[in-house]
Structure 1
Amino acid sequence: MSAASGSLPRYIAIRLLLVIPMMWVLLTMVFLLLRVAPGDPVSAAVGDKLAPDALDARRHALGLDRPLIVQYFDYLGDVVRFDFGRTISDGQPVLDLIKHQGGATLTLTVGAFLFALLIGIPLGRLAGRRRDTPTDAAIRIFGVITYAAPIFWVGLMLVLLVVKLAPDWPIDDIATPETKYYVPEKTGIILLDAILVSDWISVKDILQHHVLPCFTLGLLLSGVIIRLVRVNVIQTMKGDYVEAARARGIPERRVVSKHAFRNALVPVITVIGLQFALTLSGAILTERTFNWPGLGNSLVNYVTARDYIAVQGLVTFFAIAVVLVSLVVDIINALVDPRVRY
C-alpha cells in the first residue's frame, strides 16, 4: 500500500474525531444563545393564553424550572437520541416537523445548487479562459451583483417578470393544493413521492413550482462559484503541464477543458460542498419569499411566535447538518486530491 493510500484511513479517522468537539461547540453555542435571550420562553410563547398555574406546569413539563447545568446536559442527551424537543406553541415534536418539512428544504437546496452549478461553472470557466477581456469583466460584474443582491428583492423582481410574461406559471408554494392532497406521503419529499406512484401530472406540477424559487436561490449562489472557478482556472493555466500541452500543439480549447479545467475543479470541491451545507441551512429568505413549506419558513414562524424551544431544535438540526455535510465534503476531497490528507 502506498503512503498516499495508506494515509486515507488515518485522515478519515482524524476528521471523524474532530467532528466531536466541533459538534459540542456548536450545540453549546445554540444552547447558551437561546438561554441568554430576555424573558421566559413559555411566557413569551403562550403567556397570554394560559393561567399562571398552567404556565408553571408547562415550564415543569419542558424542564425549564431546573438548574441551567441540568438543562444543558439534558439537552445534549436529547440531541444524541435525536430528540430535538417539543414546540411550546403547538406541542409538536420538532423531529416530526423535520420529517414532514425537511424534504421541501432539501429539494429547494438541491434544485438551487443545480442551477448555481449550471450557471457558475461555465461562466467561471469562460472568465478564466478570457482573463482581462470585456467578457471577463462582464462576468465578474455579474458575479458580484448576484452575490450581493438581496434574495427577497431578486425574488420579487422575478415574480413580477414571470407574472408579466407567463401569467399561468406558478409563483409560490411547492405544488397546487390538489397535488398535495392526492400525492401520498411516503418519503417526505413530494417530488419523489409523485414519481414513486407514477403520477406524472403531479410531477410536472411540482417541477413547475420548483423552477422559480430554485432558480432565484441558484442565481444568487452562482456568484460564489463563478469567482472560485475563474480564480482556479487562471492559476492552473499558469501550470507547467498546460504550457507543455500548448507546446505539443494541442488546441487551446482542449488545453482548457482537458488539462486546466479539470485540475481547477479540485480545490473548488471543498468550497462548493461547504456552500451546499450553508445553503441547506440558509434557505430561510427564499422559503419566506415564495411561501415554501420548508423548515426555514417554519423557523421564521416560530421566531415570530417566540417559541424558543422550536427555534433551538431547528437551529440544532441545521448545525448538525452543516457539520455532517462538511465531513462528507472533506472525505470526498481527500479521495480526489491526496495532497489534503494528513
Structure 2
Amino acid sequence: MSTVTASGSLPRYIAVRLMLVIPMMWVLLTMVFVLLRIAPGDPVSAAVGDKLSEDALDARRAALGLDRPLIVQYLDYLGDVCRLDFGTTISNGRPVLDIIANQGGATLTLTLGAFLFALVVGLPLGRLAGRRRDSALDAGIRIFGIVTYAAPIFWVGLMLVLFVVRFVPSWPTYDIATAETKYLVPDRTGILLLDAALDNDWVGVRDVLQHHVLPCFTLGLLICGVIIRLVRVNVIQSLKGDYVEAARARGIPERRVVRFHAFRNALVPVVTVIGLQFALTLSGAILTERTFNWPGLGTELVAYVTARDYVAVQGLVTFFAIAVVLVSLIVDIVNALIDPRVRY
C-alpha cells in the first residue's frame, strides 16, 4: 500500500508510480527470459523437428541469435521489447506483433465482456449480502461466490455448453461468430464486434454478441466470486462507521444509507482488486478460449506451446506481462483519484 503523508500530491504519486514501473517491468522481463532459457531441449529442433537438415537448423539458430552468449541474447531481448518487437515465430515465420494485432481484439472483447458481467452481478450481490449480514440470503450469496471462484473454469464452460446444447440447441456454443460474419465483415480495427458496427452490419453485431454470451459468462463467474466477497466485507465495515450512524440519526432511510454512504466508501478498495483481477482474467481467458474455440491470444499461446515454439511463447508471455503492469499502473492512478488518502 502507498504511504500517506500530509504533503502528498497526485502528480508526485503518479511520478513515483511511473518510476516504479521500470524495475517492475525489468523483473518480469528477466523472469520470462530466464524461465524460457532453462527449459530443456533445443527450441529450433523442437519447433521444426526433422524437417530441416543440421546445417539448416544451425542457420536458423544463428538467425534467431541463439548461438550468441546468453548475456548478449538478454540485452537484445530487452532492446527488442523496448522497440515493441516481440520476435518472429520459429514454426511459421509469423511476427508475434501481427499475432497480437490480429487475435488481440478477440481476447480484449472476451475480457471486457467478462468484467462487465462480473461487475453487473458481483457489485449488487455483494452489497445485498453485506446489508443482510448473517441472513439466509447472505449465506446463499456467499456460497455462490465461493463456488464460482473455486470451480475450474474449463469445467464450468463444458457444463454450460452441455446445458445449452440440451435446452437451447440453436444458441452458438463455439467460435467468435459464424463464418459469414467473420469473412464478410471488413477488418478495420481487429475487433470483430466494432468492425461489424462500423460496417452497419447489425445482423453481424447480433451474431457476435450471441457468440460472446457463453464465454463471457464463464470467465465472468471466475471474477464475480472475488467481487462479491470483497464488496460484502467492505460494506459490513462501512456500515459500522460513524458517518453511517450520523446519516441514520438524521432519519435517512436505510436503503439510501447503504447505497450512498456505505457502498460508495466500500468501493475504494474494490477498484484496486478489480484491476489486479486482470491478470487472473488473462490466465482464465486461455482456458476459456480453448473451451469455446475462441480465436484469441490464449488459443494462439496454447498452440505455440504445443509446437514448442520458444520465440512465440516468449513474445506472447512478454506482451501479457506488459499488459498486466500497465493495467496495475492505471488502477493505482484511478485509486488515487477517487481516494486522496492513497498518495505519497
> Do the two structures share a fold, i.e. TM-score over 0.5?
yes
Partner of 1:272: 274
Could you tell me which amino acid in structure 1 is paired with residue 285 of structure 2?
A: A
The partner residue of 1:45 within 44, 47, 53 is: 47
CA distance in 2, matches of 1:129, 1:44: 57
Aligned to 1:243: 245
Give the deviation of 1:250 after TM superposition. Answer: 1.3
| RMSD across aligned positions (CA) | 1.1
Post-superposition Cα deviations, 1:236-278, rounded to whole Å, max 9, x if no partner, equal 0000010111111111111101110111101110111111243
Q: Which runs of 4+ in 1 moved over 6 A?
A: 3-6
Correspondence for 2:130 among 124, 128, 131: 128
In structure 2, relative to structure 1, the CA distance for the partners of 1:157 and 1:282 (3 Å cut) is closer
CA contact (8 A) 2:103 2:296 kept: yes
How far 1:220 moved relative to its partner?
1.9
State the Cα distance separating 1:118 from its structure 2 match: 1.1
Distance 2:217 2:232 in 1: 22
Give the equivalent residue in structure 2 for 1:111.
113
Q: Distance in 1 between matches of 2:139 and 2:233?
A: 13
SS at match of 1:29: helix
1:259 counterpart letter in structure 2: H
Contact 1:281 / 1:318 at 8 angstroms: preserved in 2? no
Q: Deviations over 1:18-69 (max 9, x none)?
A: 0000000000000000000001100111122111111111101100110000
Partner of 1:337: 339
Report the counterpart of residue 318 of structure 1 in structure 2.
320
SS in 2 for 1:146: helix
Q: Is the 8 A contact 2:132 2:138 kept in 1?
A: yes
> What 5-or-longer segments of structure 2 have no aligned partner?
none
CA–CA separation in structure 2 for the residues paired with 1:52 and 1:142: 57
TM-score (norm 1): 0.98
Residue of structure 2 in register with 1:79 after alignment: 81
- The answer to whether the aligner puts 1:155 opposite 2:161 as a matched pair is no
Amino acid across the alignment from 2:166: K
Give the partner amino acid of 2:38.
V
Equivalent in 224, 230, 233 of residue 231 of structure 1: 233
Letter aligned with residue 219 of structure 1:
L
Give the letter aligned to residue 155 of structure 2.
Answer: W
Partner residue of 1:198?
200
The structure 2 residue matched to 1:60, chosen from 62, 83, 99, is 62
Encode CA deviations 1:71-91: one digit per residue, 9 max, x unaligned. 000000000000000001101
Contact 1:119 1:219 in 2 (8 A): no
Does the 8 Å contact 1:124/1:228 carry over to 2?
A: yes
| 2:100 alignment partner in structure 1 | 98
AA aligned to 2:130 is G
Alpha-carbon spacing, 1:211–1:4, altered in 2? closer, same or farther (3 Å): farther
Q: How far apart, CA to CA, are the structure 2 residues paired with 1:209 and 1:148?
A: 25
Amino acid at match of 2:86: F
Taking the aligned partners of 2:49 and 2:216, their CA distance within structure 1 comes to: 38
Contact 1:41 1:306 survives alignment (8 Å): yes
Distance in 2, matches of 1:7 and 1:75, equals 36
Find the aligned partners of 1:77 and 1:47 in 2 and give their Cα distance. Answer: 29
Aligned length: 340
Q: Percent of counterpart pairs with the same letter?
A: 82
The CA distance in 1 between the partners of 2:166 and 2:283, in whole Å, is: 32
Unmatched segments (≥5 aa) in structure 1: none
